[in-house]
Each structure stands twice: as structure tokens, then as C-alpha cells.
């Protein structure tokens, strides 16, 4: 049975002996972390073997011989850590049944051992243990005990000690105890987990810190790399594989001594302080708390903490992986960046802002736009406080935050962010820096959303002129800026110029980014849009399908880029080719991804819901279409108010649908509401007003 100290290995072995010992002629317990030969000899002495030899080797032989010639016996090797000891004694214990407990979970397969890794308790078992040890909690609701079990991570020894503490402190409520655990900084520092009791049924140290300290102290002074790795891992996300590249960057491990890192990791696995996962080592939450306590005791300044080096390494690695636009490579970093950012902010490290910026990049890459926006806002706040309002990091944060604001259609706020970033970068770097080009291009996107097409094109051209001077390193940006100029041409109706720009951008991106990169997929989408407008639907479909193929591989099937591809495909199938079932499949999938990405009330989700509603209507599924349009109306009414023209348009759509279903009374009500809004907003002669008036007149007389 393997697992970290305190997980309950010895307790389980004891329970096994009590339940099944009756099936053996004898049960023998040996402390395998001490001298095994002495333990065997002591067992023989207790058996009363006669005649009893004088020296230990003969005592061991006499005991083993007695075991060989008796009925089956059970031998427990508690705290077995030394592979060499096992190799020595396993052949000599061939006649007995063996149960062993060990911190180490990796044993050679050719030994024939059956490994049973022990994990945390199930939540129901944690609560049952608390109630068993503190009977006064018998009628306490699960909701009051759950936070305690959650805070202690359902760790067997911690839950056991907590139960005994609650039994002794009869006036302390579970909620009060939970608050004490939280306020102690680390649960391990609370008195309940530090030698509160002086009794242990398995004679183990009744203190989590002391339990882990015994394992920590097994690392010799010569094993500093192992100690350093453990402390680094203690600041990473618990129970999540830690990429080996992150450890190498943090430790600045050059190739010539990376083998030392691997040797240190193997040692940490051996003593149960880290868990060996295929994707990298991971650390138990309770051990992570222990590691941070050790760091507090060792360091004299916050800069000496491994958290500082880990923060720098994580920023570098995140930037590197974000540039690849490979979602599968970025996703595993999310948990680590989040927890390291929070710890760095708490410790007051200057890297905290860059870490929150990195979180925003990770979340943006995997399509979690809502949380990405929050991360960029937090990065901006930290960097303004740490570096001042005119620092380049502030401009960086503003630029990416502005991009998220555009995504959520907060155009004026985005424009303000881009303009401020531009001022900061011009002041710091001059007029011809790539960062200035980035800000100009971002500002152009905001102006384009505001229908200032000339202003947008001018900004794009300035950005392009800057990066063209920078040489080959900026060619990917050159392609993107050319694409943006093409989008302005397309909006102005110059489809030939737009197509030429998109094809030029696509050609550059294929060489610079590669034909399987998300940047290349984006340019395929742009080309597909102009081909669609030109009526070249077959080639547009090819472009969109190729983009979809790339995005599904790079970003996964539930990414916003995939939804964008699907929505465009749905438009061609619905509007141009009248293939309603294909359109429905595309719209339905795009709608579900949008809900997951933006939330149910975002205007992009509403637009996709309308697309799905119309295709369902044309397919004859009026009931489902009505459900969708009613939802759209409610969302727009809540966001825009009851008198907004978009709400009137939603009402007119519902009225038309209900009229088609023969529900003339409800249709009339929606038409009348829509007519009142349009007349008040646009006047009696506006086309929208006349349309609704005609619809109302087409209803049978009530």
C-alpha cells in the first residue's frame, strides 16, 4: 500500500490484520524502516521458539524455519522504503503472506508486487470519521462539516486529528473551527494538527508537520536539488502535473545537469513527497502547504523564495506557448499560472502583474473570454500600482484588455484602452516600435467597429509601415495587418482589393506561421468571407472547411474559433445553398460553443440563437423556434430596455411566428408592442414601422 505519510497506510494495515488475522496461524509486524533482521528475531522471541539461539543471525534463521514449517502466516512490513532491503528479504520470506506499506509508489515490476495506491478519503468517509470521533456531531448537517473536510482535502490523518480536536473542544462549532483553520494561514499551523493529542492508535506522530518533517529530513544535505525542486513544486497547483520544462526553466537547468534534476525527482518519488505522473510530477495539497512553511522558515527575503524564480519561469513559458497558439500546450499551464499569480500577489512580488497577464493569455487561448477579461483587468491594476501608470507593462495590459472589450462589444471602452496604450508606448519607445504598431492596429480595429473606416485604414497602414521596417521577425504581423486592411476594403465594397489583400496575407502566413497554424486559419476565414460575397460559394466552403479543420486540431472542438467557422458555414448553407439540415447542424453547434464561451446573454450568442431559430422555423419546427425567439426577446429586453428598436424587431419576429402557428391573439400583442416602439423611435413612415403595421393589418379581425 503506497501513499504519502498520513494518508492512512498503517491504519489500513492494522485494520486488515484485525479483520483477516484469524485466517493465519500468526500475524507478525515488522518496522521495515529499521533493521529487518532485528524485527524478525523479535517475532521469533515472542513466539517462544525453543531452544532460542544466542546470536541474531541464528535467531533469524530459527524464526524463518518456524514460519516455513507452519500454517500460513501474515507478515506486515511497515514503512518499507529501501529496495535493496526488499530484494534481500523477499526470497527469504517466500513461505509467508506479506502486506507492506511504503511512501514509494514506483517499485520494479519484476518483483511481482501488487501495488495499491492510497488516495484521500471519499467525502462521505471523511464526514463519517468526524462523526465517529466526535459523536456530538452526529446530527450536524453535512453542509456544516463539508468545509472542514474540503479544507483538509479529505486527508486521513488531518481528518482524524480534526475529529479528536472537535471531540475535546465541545463548545467549538464546526463553522468556528473551519474559520480558525482558514485564519491560521496554513491549516498545518493550527493547534489541532500539531500534537494536540498524545495518543495515536498506530503510535505515529500526531502532528502533520512532524510527520512530513521526518520525510523532509530524509533528504541529505547533499540532496539540495531535490529540496529545491520540492519547494518549487509546493507553489504549483496541487494534484496537477507540473511540466518538466517549467522545472528546468525555474532551476535554470542546463542540459549538462538535467540528469541531476531527474535523479532528484526520482528521490522525491521514492520518499513520497511528489507523485510521478506521465505528464510530470505533482504534489499533494497538504504537502504543498508543508513546503511553503519550509520556505518561510528558510528564506530571509521574499526575493529568495523559489516562488520568485517560478514566477519568472512561468511568464517565459506561457509567452512561448501562447505564441505557438497551440491550445493543447497552453491548457496544462492554466492551473499553475493561476495559483502562482495569487501567491505572487500575496507575497508582493513584482511579477504578479505579468502572471495575471499570462493567465489572461492562457484563458484567451482556450476560449474562456470572460475570465480572460478579468485577468487582464487584474494585471492592469497590479502593474499600475507596482510600476506606475506609464510603464510598458501597463500598455501591454491595456492592449489585451481592449481586445477583450471589443469581443464583448464595449467599443468605446476598447478605444480608450488602445489610445492610452498608444500614448504610453510612443512615450517609452518612440514612433517606430513594434509595440506602437500593435497599438495602432488595435486602435484601427476599434475605429472599424465604430464605422470610421477611413480612420481604421489609416491606423492599419501606419502599423504595417512600422513592422515592414523590422525585417523577417515581424512577417507574421505584416500578414495580419494586410488582412486588416483587406477587411476595410471589404466593408467599403471593394471586394477585388479585399480578396487581393487576403490572398497576400494568406501566402505570407503559410510560409511564416505554417499551414496548420491558427493565424493561417484566420486568414482562410477572411478569404472565405469575400468569396462568399462574390458568390463563389464552393470556394468559400473550401476555405471555411479548411479553417475549421485547422481550428479543431489546434484549439479543440469547443473553441470560439471553431464556432466562428461553423457559423460562417451555416450562413452559406442557409442563405446561399438552401441546405437547411446542414445549416441547422452548424448553427446548433456554434450556438452551444458560444453559450459556453461568452455566457447565455452575450449578443454574439443571441445572434447565433436567431440564426438557429430561423432555420428551425424553415424546417417546420415552430415550437422550438418559438422557444428560442422568446428567449432572445427576454435577453434583449433585459439588456436594452423595453423600448429599444432591437426589442421591437424581436417582438415582430415572434409575432410573425405566432401568426404562422395560428395564435393570432398573441401575434397581435407582439405586433402592437413593436409598432409602438418603432413609431416612437423612427416615426410613422420608417420602413420598419410600415412593415409591422402591414403585419398587424394582415391578421384576421378579432
Model pLDDT for residues 418-457, shown as the tens digit of each residue: 999 999 999 999 999 999 999 999 999 999 999 999 999 9
Q: Is the pLDDT of residue 604 over 80?
A: no
pLDDT at 321: 72
Residue 98 has a pLDDT of 95
Q: How far is CA 537 from CA 495, 501, 528, 563, in A?
A: 15, 19, 8, 19
Q: Quick check: 55 pLDDT over 80? A: yes
What's the mean per-residue pLDDT of the chain? 90
Q: What percent of the chain has pLDDT over 90?
A: 65
Report the C-alpha gap between 649 and 629 in whole angstroms.
11
Alpha helices in 299-410 (DSSP H): 306-324, 327-330, 334-347, 352-366, 369-387, 392-407
Q: pLDDT of 666-694, one tens digit each?
A: 999 999 999 999 999 889 999 999 999 99
Q: How far apart are CA 508 and CA 502, in angstroms?
A: 10
Q: At residue 27, what are phi and psi to the nearest 5 degrees?
A: -120, 130
Burial of 202 (0-12, 13-18, 19+ CB in 10 A): middle
| Helices vs strands, H then E, count in the chain | 33, 5
Tell me how far apart the alpha carbons of residues 692 and 672 are, in angstroms, rounded to a whole number.
8
Contact present, 487 and 448 (Cβ < 8 Å): yes
Q: Is 80 within 8 Å of 35 (Cβ atoms)?
A: no
How many angstroms separate the CA atoms of 576 and 564, rounded? 18
Whether the per-residue pLDDT at 244 is higher than 70: the answer is yes
Question: Would you state the pLDDT for residue 277?
Answer: 81
Residue 203 pLDDT level (bands cut at 50, 70, 90): low
For residue 40, what pLDDT band results from cuts at 50, 70 and 90?
very high
Indicate whether 492 pLDDT > 60. Answer: yes
Strands (E), 63-120: 73-78, 97-100
**Lowest-pLDDT range of 147-156, 192-201, 455-464, 588-597:** 192-201
Average pLDDT over residues 552-569: 89
Give me the pLDDT at residue 319, please: 81
Among residues 702, 632, 610, 695, the alpha carbon closest in space to that of 660 is found at 695
Strand order in the sheet with 26-31: 26-31, 73-78, 97-100
d(CA 453, CA 660): 41
Q: Choose between 201 and 608: higher pLDDT.
A: 608
- Residue 561 has a pLDDT of 87
The predicted structure's pLDDT at residue 597: 74
> 592 Cβ partners below 8 Å, 6+ apart?
none
At 202 the pLDDT is: 62
Q: What pLDDT is recorded for position 328? A: 63
* pLDDT higher than threshold 80 for residue 254: no
For 534-644, where are the alpha helices, taking DSSP H only?
537-555, 560-571, 580-598, 603-618, 622-640
Q: How confident is the model at residue 259 (pLDDT cuts 50, 70, 90)?
A: confident
Which span out of 207-211, 332-336, 627-631 was modeled with the highest average pLDDT?
Answer: 627-631
Q: Look at residues 339, 343, 1, 4 and name the one whose alpha carbon lies nearest to residue 158.
A: 4
If you average pLDDT over residues 293-318, what whole number do you get? 87
Rounded Cα gap, residues 203 and 13, in angstroms: 13
Lowest mean per-residue pLDDT among 113-127, 385-399, 554-568: 554-568
The partner residues of 276 in beta bridges, in order of sequence, read 281
Q: Mean pLDDT over residues 531-559, rounded?
A: 92
- The domain defined by 620-702 folds into 1.25.40
Q: How far apart are CA 308 and CA 610, in angstroms?
A: 49
Amino acid at each position: 500500500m503506497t501513499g504519502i505519510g498520513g494518508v492512512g497506510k498503517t491504519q489500513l494495515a492494522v485494520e486488515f490484520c484485525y479483520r483477516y488475522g484469524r485466517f493465519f496461524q500468526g500475524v507478525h509486524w515488522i518496522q521495515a524502516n529499521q533493521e529487518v533482521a532485528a524485527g524478525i528475531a523479535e517475532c521469533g522471541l515472542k513466539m517462544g521458539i525453543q531452544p532460542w539461539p544466542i546470536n541474531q543471525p541464528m535467531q533469524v534463521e530459527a524464526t524463518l524455519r518456524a514460519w516455513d514449517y507452519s500454517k500460513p502466516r501474515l507478515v506486515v512490513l511497515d514503512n518499507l522504503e529501501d529496495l535493496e532491503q526488499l530484494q534481500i528479504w523477499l526470497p527469504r520470506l517466500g513461505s509467508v503472506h506479506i502486506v507492506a506499506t511504503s511512501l514509494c509508489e514506483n517499485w520494479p515490476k519484476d518483483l511481482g508486487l501488487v501495488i495499491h495506491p492510497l488516495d484521500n478519503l471519499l467525502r462521505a468517509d471523511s464526514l463519517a470519521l468526524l462523526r465517529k470521533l466526535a459523536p456530538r456531531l452526529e446530527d450536524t448537517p453535512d453542509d456544516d462539516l463539508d468545509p472542514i473536510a474540503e479544507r483538509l482535502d479529505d486527508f486521513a490523518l488531518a481528518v482524524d486529528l480534526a475529529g479528536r480536536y472537535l471531540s475535546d473542544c465541545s463548545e467549538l462549532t464546526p463553522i468556528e473551527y473551519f474559520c480558525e483553520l482558514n485564519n491560521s494561514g496554513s491549516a498545518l499551523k493550527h493547534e489541532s494538527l500539531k500534537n494536540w493529542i498524545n495518543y495515536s492508535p498506530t503510535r505515529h506522530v500526531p502532528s502533520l508537520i512532524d510527520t512530513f518533517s521526518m520525510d523532509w529530513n530524509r533528504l541529505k544535505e547533499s540532496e539540495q536539488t531535490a529540496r529545491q525542486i520540492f519547494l518549487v513544486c509546493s507553489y504549483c497547483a496541487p494534484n496537477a502535473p507540473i511540466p518538466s520544462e517549467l522545472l528546468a526553466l525555474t532551476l535554470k537547468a542546463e542540459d549538462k545537469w538535467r540528469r541531476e534534476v531527474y535523479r532528484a525527482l526520482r528521490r522525491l518519488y521514492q520518499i513520497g513527497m511528489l507523485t510521478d505522473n506521465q505528464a510530470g510530477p505533482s504534489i499533494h495539497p497538504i504537502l504543498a502547504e508543508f513546503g511553503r512553511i519550509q520556505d518561510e522558515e528558510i528564506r530571509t527575503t521574499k526575493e529568495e523564495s523559489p516562488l520568485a524564480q517560478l514566477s519568472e519561469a512561468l511568464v517565459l513559458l506561457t509567452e512561448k506557448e501562447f505564441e505557438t497558439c497551440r491550445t493543447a500546450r497552453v491548457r496544462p499551464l492554466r492551473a499553475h499560472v493561476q495559483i502562482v499569480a495569487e501567491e505572487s500577489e500575496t507575497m508582493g512580488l513584482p511579477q504578479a502583474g505579468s502572471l495575471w497577464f499570462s493567465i489572461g493569455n492562457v484563458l484567451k487561448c482556450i476560449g474562456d473570454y470572460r475570465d480572460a477579461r478579468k485577468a487582464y483587468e487584474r494585471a492592469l491594476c497590479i502593474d499600475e500600482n507596482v510600476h506606475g501608470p506609464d510603464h510598458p507593462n501597463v500598455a501591454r495590459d491595456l492592449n489585451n484588455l481592449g481586445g477583450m472589450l471589443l469581443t464583448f462589444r464595449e467599443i468605446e471602452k476598447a478605444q480608450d484602452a488602445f489610445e492610452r496604450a498608444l500614448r504610453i508606448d510612443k512615450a517609452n519607445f518612440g514612433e517606430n516600435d513594434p509595440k506602437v504598431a500593435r497599438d495602432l492596429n488595435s486602435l484601427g480595429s476599434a475605429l472599424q467597429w465604430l464605422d470610421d473606416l477611413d480612420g481604421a485604414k489609416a491606423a492599419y497602414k501606419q502599423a504595417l509601415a512600422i513592422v515592414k521596417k523590422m525585417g523577417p521577425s515581424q512577417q507574421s504581423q505584416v500578414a495580419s495587418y494586410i488582412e486588416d486592411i483587406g477587411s476595410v476594403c471589404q466593408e467599403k465594397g471593394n471586394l477585388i482589393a479585399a480578396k487581393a489583400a487576403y490572398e497576400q496575407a494568406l501566402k505570407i502566413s503559410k510560409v511564416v506561421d505554417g499551414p496548420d497554424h491558427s493565424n493561417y486559419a484566420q486568414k482562410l476565414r477572411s478569404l472565405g468571407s469575400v468569396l462568399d460575397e462574390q458568390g463563389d460559394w464552393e470556394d468559400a466552403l473550401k476555405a471555411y472547411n479548411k479553417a475549421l479543420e485547422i481550428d479543431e486540431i489546434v484549439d479543440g472542438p469547443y473553441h470560439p474559433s471553431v464556432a466562428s467557422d461553423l457559423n460562417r458555414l451555416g450562413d452559406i448553407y442557409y442563405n446561399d445553398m438552401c441546405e437547411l439540415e446542414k445549416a441547422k447542424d452548424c448553427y446548433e453547434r456554434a450556438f452551444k460553443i458560444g453559450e459556453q464561451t461568452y455566457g447565455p446573454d452575450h449578443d454574439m450568442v443571441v445572434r447565433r440563437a436567431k440564426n438557429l431559430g430561423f432555420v428551425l422555423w424553415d424546417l417546420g419546427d415552430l415550437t422550438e423556434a418559438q422557444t428560442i425567439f422568446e428567449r432572445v426577446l427576454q435577453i434583449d429586453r433585459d439588456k436594452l430596455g423595453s423600448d429599444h428598436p432591437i426589442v421591437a424587431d424581436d417582438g415582430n419576429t415572434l409575432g410573425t411566428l405566432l401568426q404562422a402557428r395560428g395564435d393570432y391573439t398573441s401575434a397581435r400583442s407582439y405586433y402592437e408592442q413593436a409598432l409602438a416602439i418603432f413609431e416612437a423611435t423612427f416615426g410613422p413612415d420608417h420602413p420598419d414601422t410600415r412593415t409591422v403595421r402591414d403585419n398587424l393589418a394582415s391578421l384576421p379581425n378579432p
